[in-house]
């Protein structure tokens, strides 16, 4: 895993986005789409607000076993968490721009946080990865199916970042799984598939009103997210562990364009 290039990427990406004007209640979208979109984005906003405490605990534990191979990884993860927090800020503005209300609490957030605590670190990181893959499908879908330029610009920015996050995690898991025995690797993949499918189904059901307003069925959304999961597993099998941020972005952009509807 080329950790210095990821650190460089996260540092450079901090200032690469020019935010569009997001005056409160200024969206030209029709109410039938604007309000469900605001409601749905508010749930994603809440999901992006975490401080990364559990993740950092996992990272510290992993680093104890692989200190040489993962030198600098904790800094890269801190920069990654900071990028997610910038997404939370951007989504906060977007929800207000759309005339929505920010959430302090939501049942999916509470359930996933409790599950992550109950089921241990490895499951914790799988849920995080699953959230990234769902985000790829979700923001890609909004980007391609809405006509509001401010919404599309913000979703495009988050989509680009999320695709790089997936590449970042893929690099990490390539290193990690290479150290496991074949049966344990198969078990990990099975756990990931189950976790991904269950999470995608819950998210599709929870956001059904918004999906309906976009004319996307829950099944279609689940298929889209599962495709993102399959792409991730294929990447994981790839022998190349020197996957670079920029190269991975170009290939994933192409994949995402093919996978998103519209």
Q: Provide the binding-site residues for Fe ion, judged by CB under 5 A.
A: 48, 84, 87, 132, 162, 165
Task: Tell me the closest approach of the beta carbon of residue 84 to Fe ion, in angstroms.
Answer: 5
231/227 Cα distance (integer angstroms): 6
- 157 vs 165 by CB, closer to Fe ion: 165
**Rounded least distance, CB 158 to Fe ion, Å:** 6
Smallest gap from Cβ 224 to Fe ion, in A, equals: 17
Distance of CA 144 to the CA centre of its chain: 17
Q: Which is nearer to Fe ion, 56 or 65 (CB)?
A: 56
Q: Assess contact for 33 and 105: CB atoms under 8 A.
A: no
Give 84 or 92: the residue with its C-beta nearer to Fe ion.
84
- Give me the least distance between CB of 210 and Fe ion, in Å please: 18
CB of 219 to Fe ion, least distance (A): 25
Query: Token pair for residue 132?
Result: 């990234």
If the CB atoms of residues 49 and 218 are measured against Fe ion, the closer one turns out to be: 49
How far apart CA 249 and CA 163 sit, in angstroms, is 7
* Measured distance CA(188)–CA(50) in Å, rounded: 25
- Closest to Fe ion by CB, 17 vs 185, is 17
């Amino acid at each position: 895993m080329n950790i210095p290039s990821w650190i460089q990427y996260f540092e450079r990406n901090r200032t690469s986005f020019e935010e569009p004007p997001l005056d409160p209640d200024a969206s030209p979208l029709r109410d039938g789409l604007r309000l469900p979109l605001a409601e749905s984005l508010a749930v994603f906003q809440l999901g992006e607000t975490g401080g990364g405490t559990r993740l950092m605990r996992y990272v510290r534990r992993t680093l104890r076993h692989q200190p040489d191979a993962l030198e600098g990884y904790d800094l890269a993860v801190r920069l990654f968490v900071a990028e997610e927090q910038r997404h939370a800020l951007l989504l906060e503005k977007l929800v207000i721009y759309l005339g929505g209300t920010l959430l302090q609490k939501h049942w999916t957030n509470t359930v996933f946080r409790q599950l992550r605590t109950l089921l241990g670190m490895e499951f914790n990181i799988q849920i995080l990865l699953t959230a990234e893959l769902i985000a790829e499908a979700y923001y890609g879908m909004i980007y391609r199916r809405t006509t509001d330029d401010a919404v599309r610009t913000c979703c495009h920015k988050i989509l680009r970042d999320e695709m790089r996050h997936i590449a970042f995690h893929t690099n990490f898991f390539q290193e990690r799984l290479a150290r496991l025995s074949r049966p344990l690797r198969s078990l990990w993949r099975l756990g990931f598939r189950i976790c991904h499918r269950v999470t995608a189904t819950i998210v599709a059901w929870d956001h059904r009103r918004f999906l309906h307003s976009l004319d996307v069925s829950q099944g279609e959304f689940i298929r889209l997210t599962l495709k993102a999961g399959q792409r991730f597993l294929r990447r994981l099998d790839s022998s190349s562990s020197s996957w670079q941020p920029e190269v991975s972005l170009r290939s994933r952009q192409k994949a995402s364009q093919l996978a998103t509807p519209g």
